[in-house]
Structure 1
């Protein structure tokens, strides 16, 4: 439960519109937005977990967001490499595709955070359930 609360704080309460709108761009402002977002995202975790855990969370969060890894996953599992609807069929409403993308993106973050916490933290996994 703790890791979910920290994820929600970092990814939603500490991310502003500037970061969200620019973090996937490949210009200087995009790299800056994603870096700032990833640092702010990781801050709540620093109160509870080891430095190694937080570095793993910071780096993986940056990579997942910057390169939209959830999008590549969706396109892979749906066999829709050329899709412009978040990897889904054009028959799926855009708002549904967007929310499925958000859910899969959040799942990636939560799975990786859980693994990092369990493997690198001084705490055992029961503290994040």
Structure 2
């Protein structure tokens, strides 16, 4: 539960509008967001390795919108005959309602962060 709370505080409460808008276009903004995101995790671990993994992977995942690519690959693999339909901004077909595709990508992004954070804190 503590890791989930640290994630929510770091990714939603501490993230400014500027960070949210510019982290996918700017490494300095992505890194600033990742550093700020990592701050709540210092209450859970002081391991420099764990904090470095949490910070570094967060920056990369957000900067390159990796959740979008995970969704795209997953959906292409599940529907090989129509793989081109998933080359969209979200990785879901145009037939998927926009609200649903956006929330599915957000859920994928959060799941990626939570998994990495869990293993970093537990094993590093």
Whichever structure has more helix as a proportion of its residues is 2
Note the alpha carbon deviations across 1:91-121, whole angstroms, 9 max, x for none.
111111000000000000000000101111x
Instruction: Name 1:102's counterpart in structure 2.
Output: 106
User: Which of residues 55, 63, 66 is equivalent to 2:63?
Assistant: 66
Does the residue aligned with 2:92 lie in a helix, a strand or coil? coil
Instruction: Name 1:57's counterpart in structure 2.
Output: 54
Q: Which runs of 5+ in 1 are unaligned?
A: 121-129
User: Which of residues 115, 118, 122 is equivalent to 1:118?
Assistant: 122
Mapping of residues 1-129 of structure 1, within 5 Å: 1-25=1-25, 30-49=26-45, 50-79=47-76, 80=83, 83-120=87-124
**TM-score (ref. length: structure 1):** 0.85
**TM-score (ref. length: structure 2):** 0.89
Residues paired across the two proteins, number: 116
The answer (yes or no) to whether the contact 2:19–2:30 under 8 Å persists in 1 is yes
> Structure 2 CA distance, aligned partners of 1:75 and 1:9?
28
Note the alpha carbon deviations across 1:70-96, whole angstroms, 9 max, x for none.
111111011145522411111111111
The answer (yes or no) to whether the contact 1:85–1:94 under 8 Å persists in 2 is no
Q: Select between 75-84 and 100-109 the one with higher mean Cα deviation.
A: 75-84
